């Protein structure tokens, strides 16, 4: 699901293309985009009979605190057929090297009804395509494949899923009355490019994100006409592997290098002191600390 994905520099076409080879159908729920957005044209340019576009209108006053994302995701889910549903967000891409592994695992666990979904590891790119975030607070794993069951719904701002037997829209933000779903590891990574875009568009994306809370105060509290400050990138881990082939044109369009900070070594201001301290100990012990896990990981071989 998405709204104004193209004008905000989401790799939406690349996202769809990355998993299109292993799905039987691709349901895309397209919100009421602005007149200067061409997300629909990008999707139609893929020219695949697998893709079905469903038009919607976002009611952010009814679905507050960004639960509009979960509601729109549920619309997509309700229009899907098949046994497994692969949920991919408009800024997420799967490397082609994982497709056969994902498909194989879906076949392997098809008849194991205790398995309700699959867990994916994450790489969160930041600023450019060569640096990523691995600090505390950045989710290391998330559910991206679920079994096609009516009681499974998107949760909170559509970051994950939960089992909701007696569903109501209020449950999008609740733990009470909802249950974590049981998952196994997919054996694959999601490449998250949501923080890789020109600084001016990164700020525009944050403004749009704030406006989706359904609060007038949030809408008026940001200025779109300023550049987002990514901070000193040289303090971050470097990514030295290959990107998905579908990202080739995006990599070639990397035109904001001169707006990024590769030299200055001033304090990295995007992490709170608490998170920097926890990150320090996580690296010492080589495991995440105080990590919230919205899933039950089953032991399977």
- For 69, the token pair is 């994302």
The pLDDT assigned to 204 comes to: 94
Q: Count CB atoms within 10 A of the CB of residue 221.
A: 11
Show Cβ contacts of residue 60 under 8 Å, excluding neighbours closer than 6 positions.
68, 211, 212, 213, 214
Has residue 269 got a pLDDT over 90? no
- 193-216 residue pLDDT tens: 999 999 999 999 999 999 998 754
More confident residue, 94 or 216: 94
pLDDT-based confidence at 32, cuts 50/70/90?
very high
Q: With cut-offs at 50, 70 and 90, classify the pLDDT of residue 137.
A: confident
pLDDT in tens, 235-251: 899 999 999 999 999 99
pLDDT score recorded for residue 267: 58
Q: Report the percentage of the chain scoring pLDDT > 70.
A: 90
Residue 277 pLDDT exceeds 80: no
Is the pLDDT score of 30 beyond 60? yes
Mean pLDDT of the chain: 92
Quickly state the pLDDT bin for 221 (edges 50, 70, 90): very low
- Residue 123 β-bridge partners: 191
> Residue 222's pLDDT is what?
56
Mean pLDDT (whole number) for 75-104: 98
Cα 201 to Cα 227: distance, rounded to the nearest angstrom: 8
What's the whole-model pTM score? 0.92
Q: Comparing C-alpha atoms, which of 108, 109, 70 is closest to residue 87?
A: 70
Give the mean model confidence (pLDDT) for residues 246-262: 97
| Domain chopping of the chain, boundaries | 83-301
Query: Which range, 42-51, 204-213, 270-279, has the best average confidence (pLDDT)?
Result: 42-51
For range 273-291, the mean pLDDT: 69
């Amino acid at each position: 699901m998405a709204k104004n994905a193209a004008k905000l520099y989401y790799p939406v076409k690349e996202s769809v293309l990355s998993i299109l080879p292993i799905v039987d159908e691709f349901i895309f729920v397209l919100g009421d985009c602005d007149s200067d957005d061409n997300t629909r044209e990008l999707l139609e340019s893929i020219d695949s009979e697998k893709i079905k576009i469903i038009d919607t209108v976002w009611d952010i006053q009814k679905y507050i605190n960004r639960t509009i994302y979960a509601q729109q995701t549920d619309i997509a889910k309700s229009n899907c057929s098949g046994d497994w549903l692969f949920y991919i967000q408009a800024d997420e891409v799967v490397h082609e090297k994982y497709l056969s592994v994902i498909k194989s695992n879906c076949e392997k666990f098809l008849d194991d009804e205790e398995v309700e979904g699959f867990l994916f590891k994450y790489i969160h790119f930041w600023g450019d395509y060569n640096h990523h975030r691995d600090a505390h607070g950045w989710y290391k794993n998330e559910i991206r494949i679920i079994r096609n069951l009516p009681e499974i719904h998107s949760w909170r701002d559509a970051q994950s899923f939960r089992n909701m037997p007696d569903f109501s829209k209020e449950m999008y933000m609740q733990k009470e009355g909802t249950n974590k779903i049981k998952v196994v590891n997919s054996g694959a990574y999601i490449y998250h490019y949501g923080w890789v875009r020109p600084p001016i568009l990164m700020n525009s994306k944050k403004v749009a994100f704030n406006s989706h809370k359904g609060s007038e105060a949030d809408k008026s509290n940001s200025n779109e006409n300023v550049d987002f400050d990514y901070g000193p990138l040289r303090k971050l881990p470097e990514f030295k592997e290959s990107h998905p082939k579908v990202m080739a044109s995006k990599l070639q369009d990397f035109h904001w290098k001169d707006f990024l900070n590769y030299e200055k070594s001033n304090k990295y201001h995007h992490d709170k002191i608490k998170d920097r301290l926890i990150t320090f100990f996580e690296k010492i012990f080589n495991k995440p600390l105080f990590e919230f896990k919205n899933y039950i990981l089953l032991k399977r071989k």
